[in-house]
């Protein structure tokens, strides 16, 4: 049964994610929320996906929700015709640019042909400028899913008004929010000729022309930022920033049975005794840094579950491969980690691990999905931001009092962080009772926001009563 208004009109939402698991996952979780409230969903997905993981996740989503109208569109790229064995993959920002080009050319006919007529269109924030003229010509309400924090959204919305040479300043001052250190802003946004910077300037200048922005956060996590944006302090004339979080992990995200392996190991560990170290789907450390991380976890004396993702290499047949765990860590270090830890070099179901009672802390890259999952489960975070929005996300955790991060460790590859540094930091972090108390409170607030009659449902009903 689909949701309809008092006149019997069926509510129908079309959704268009961009590339990357960090963007696709929140779209599918929001789509699931809509489906659970009997809203018809059409999902428009770029093809080919940027990674095989995205394709597999979409397949599992479709199997779980066959009622979803899923439309695949082909994204042509000057790089997509490379041979399978080529060293050149389609770079992430090239993929984003290709999707933006498609959106500008092909969306109008696709959206206008959908039946029943759309209530509104939800798309990724990387596509603002490409989609705006289309939704305006169709008189179609347009909402953007911003897949990061409200803190990063404040920077994004204000970005087109900032000086061109940001690197010359120590902080960015935006009314209503804490000062943002230049060191916390991605180098991609500071480089003069960066495609990322160009897109940010172009899109943020159009931001007041949309009907609203959805975001995976909630009041207890980012109250100050939400209030500042919605009060017009950050930028006058802003459309509403609508917190739909926390987005709840879904059953279809599990892959096969291999996700059960770490849970079996965790079952044998004392409550709250394990630090979970995982750095997301795209962070690829060099072997020297991976060895320092493993060494540091051993030195800490804390039980640990480490997920390793190393840089791939090319074999003699010119095929991309990953080395085995013993080759990455070395046999001596593999022996040392067995006493206190479990190291995995395969996909894990992160949400399931974070919900296990043995987990007492999370060493994380501070991708926004990971932070919200930790909040949902009340797990303190020790942040090690690697790229993009992650330092600003780490600041959100630190300001909320349920975690910390080391500001001297730099962006990925800037320096080798030693095992001694990591071990000392983890030991102090895992023994901080204040983080645990604050994390428990964040968990209660997250569950309340997502409960029946909570903030998420209130926001949803307001949206469809407009």
CB distance 39 to 229 below 8 Å: no
CA angle (450, 452, 457) in 5-degree steps: 65
Question: What is the side-by-side order of every strand in the sheet holding 359-364?
Answer: 341-344, 303-307, 274-278, 359-364, 381-383, 403-405
Q: Of 266, 336, 348, whose CA–CA distance to 296 is shortest?
A: 336
Would you say how long the chain is, in residues? 466
Tokens found for residue 93: 């920002």
Q: Of 277, 269, 271, whose CA–CA distance to 296 is shortest?
A: 277
Query: What is each CA distance from 137 to 107, 131, 237, in whole angstroms?
Result: 11, 10, 22
For the annotated catalytic residues, the residue numbers are: 23, 124
Sign, Cα dihedral of 84, 53, 127, 28: positive
Contacts of 462 by beta carbon, 8 Å cutoff, 6+ apart: none
Contacts of 146 by beta carbon, 8 Å cutoff, 6+ apart: 125, 152, 153, 156, 213, 214, 215, 241
Phi, psi of 276, rounded to the nearest 5 degrees: -100, 120
Give per-residue burial for 346-372: e unless 16+ CB within 10 Å, then b.
eebbbbbbbbbebbbbbbbbbbbbbbb
CB distance 58 to 49 below 8 Å: yes
Supply the angle between the helices 390-400 and 150-158 in degrees, to the nearest 10: 130
Distance from C-alpha of 193 to C-alpha of 440, rounded to nearest angstrom: 44
């Amino acid at each position: 049964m689909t949701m309809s208004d008092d006149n019997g009109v069926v509510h129908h939402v079309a959704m268009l994610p961009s590339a990357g698991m960090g963007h696709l996952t929140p779209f599918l979780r929001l789509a699931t929320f809509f489906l659970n409230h009997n809203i018809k969903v059409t999902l428009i997905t770029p093809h080919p996906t940027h990674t095989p993981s995205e394709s597999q996740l979409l397949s599992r989503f479709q199997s779980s929700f066959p009622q979803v109208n899923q439309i695949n569109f082909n994204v042509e790229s000057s790089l997509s015709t490379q041979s399978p064995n080529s060293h050149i993959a389609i770079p992430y920002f090239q993929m984003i640019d290709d999707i933006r080009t498609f959106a500008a050319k092909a969306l109008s006919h696709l959206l206008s042909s959908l039946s029943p007529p759309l209530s509104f269109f939800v798309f990724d924030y990387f596509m603002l400028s490409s989609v705006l003229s289309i939704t305006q010509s169709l008189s179609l309400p347009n909402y953007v899913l911003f897949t990061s924090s409200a803190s990063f959204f404040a920077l994004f919305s204000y970005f087109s008004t900032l000086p061109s040479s940001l690197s010359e300043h120590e902080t960015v001052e935006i009314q209503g929010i804490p000062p943002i250190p230049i060191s916390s802003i991605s180098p991609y946004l500071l480089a003069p000729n960066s495609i990322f910077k160009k897109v940010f300037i172009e899109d943020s200048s159009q931001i007041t022309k949309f009907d609203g922005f959805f975001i995976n956060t909630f009041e207890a996590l980012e109250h100050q930022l939400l209030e500042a944006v919605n009060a017009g302090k950050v930028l006058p004339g802003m459309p509403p920033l609508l917190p739909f979080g926390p987005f709840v992990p879904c059953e279809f995200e599990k892959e096969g049975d291999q996700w059960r392996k770490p849970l079996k190991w965790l079952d044998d560990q004392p409550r709250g005794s394990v630090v979970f170290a995982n750095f997301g789907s795209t962070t690829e450390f060099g072997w020297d840094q991976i060895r320092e991380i493993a060494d540091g976890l051993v030195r800490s004396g804390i039980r640990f579950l480490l997920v390793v993702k190393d840089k791939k290499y090319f074999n003699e047949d010119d095929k991309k491969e990953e080395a085995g765990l013993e080759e990455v860590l070395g046999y001596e270090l593999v022996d040392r980690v067995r006493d206190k830890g479990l190291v995995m070099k395969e996909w894990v179901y992160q949400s399931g691990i974070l919900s296990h009672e043995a987990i007492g802390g999370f060493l994380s890259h501070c991708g926004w999905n990971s932070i919200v999952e930790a909040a949902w489960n009340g797990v303190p975070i020790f942040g090690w931001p690697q790229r993009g929005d992650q330092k600003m996300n780490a600041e959100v955790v630190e300001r909320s009092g349920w975690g910390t991060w080391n500001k001297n460790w730099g962006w990925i590859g800037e320096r080798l962080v030693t095992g001694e540094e990591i071990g000392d930091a983890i030991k102090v972090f895992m023994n901080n009772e204040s983080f645990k108390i604050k994390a428990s409170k964040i968990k209660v607030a997250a569950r309340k926001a997502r409960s029946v009659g909570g903030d998420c449902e209130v926001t949803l009903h307001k949206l469809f009563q407009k």
